[in-house]
Amino acid sequence: MLDEIIEDAQASMDKAHEAFGRELSKLRTGRANLQMLDGIRVEYYGSLTPLNQVAALSVPDPRLITIKPWDRTILTAIEKALVGSNLGITPNNDGELIRLPIPPLTGERRQDLVKQLKRLTEDARIAVRNIRRDANALSKDVEGVSEDDQHRALKEIQDMTDRAIKALEAEADRREAEIMEV
């Protein structure tokens, strides 16, 4: 029973780390990255559709993303979705293709991104700690387990938590260095 609790906690911590990675991929770092557009939905035939399902997305060079819709009639809808997405990038529409030039980051914008990164990192740490708290509570409630086994399970859960938080911080430090790189 304790092994199942530990395995579930490990799986949950892995999922929290994956979610953190997905959130980091949406952070704009001054380089063209298609994951920045993942959360953008376009009004298409009355429903909100993910951008990558209505257009071909590509990165022809490190500072440019191009969006070529399969149906030219939705160019304005895509442009409207991009402007409303809070990316901080102004789309250029030439009638067939939308270009998203990625401007170099200013010092102030870099600081804002680092603050956003720190907030995301803290949210991920909190998620991992909540998983630890739940796993500890479950392992303490298990009947018919010796105190030594229970103590070993709690120590294993704490070790998993420490490893997960260390991995989150390493990922955040790597991303912060990428953001601050001029």
Task: Give dist(CA 24, CA 171) in Å, integer.
Answer: 9
Are residues 88 and 152 both part of a single domain? no
Q: Pick from 37, 176, 25, 34: which is nearest to 105 by CA?
A: 176
Are residues 112 and 174 both part of a single domain? yes
Are residues 176 and 111 both part of a single domain? yes
pLDDT at residue 182 in the model: 64
Are residues 165 and 140 both part of a single domain? yes
Instruction: Say if residues 60 and 157 touch (Cβ distance below 8 Å).
Output: no
Are residues 172 and 111 both part of a single domain? yes
pLDDT at residue 127 in the model: 96
Which of 84, 101, 118 marks a domain boundary? 101
Which of 101, 126, 155 marks a domain boundary? 101
Which of 101, 119, 154 marks a domain boundary? 101
Q: Is the pLDDT of residue 61 over 70?
A: yes
Buried/exposed code over 8-19 (b: 16+ C-beta within 10 A; e: otherwise): ebbebbeebbee
Are residues 40 and 90 both part of a single domain? yes
Task: Give dist(CA 154, CA 136) in Å, integer.
Answer: 6
Are residues 93 and 126 both part of a single domain? no
Domain that holds residue 172: 2-26+106-180
Q: Is the pLDDT of residue 169 over 80?
A: yes
Are residues 97 and 110 both part of a single domain? no
Are residues 54 and 119 both part of a single domain? no
Average pLDDT over residues 81-92: 84
pLDDT at residue 28 in the model: 67
pLDDT at residue 95 in the model: 86
Are residues 152 and 122 both part of a single domain? yes
Residues of the chain above pLDDT 70, percent: 98
Q: Which pLDDT band holds residue 42 (cuts at 50, 70, 90)?
A: very high
Q: How many residues does the chain have?
A: 182
Interacting residues of 129 by C-beta distance below 8 A, sequence separation 6+: 161
Count of CB atoms within 10 A of residue 155's CB?
A: 10
Model pLDDT for residues 118-162, shown as the tens digit of each residue:
999 999 999 999 999 999 999 989 888 888 999 999 999 999 999
| Number of domains within the chain | 2
Q: Which residue has the higher pLDDT, 63 or 29?
A: 63
Q: Is the pLDDT of residue 16 over 90?
A: yes
Domain CATH number, residue 115: 1.10.132.20
> How much is the pTM?
0.73
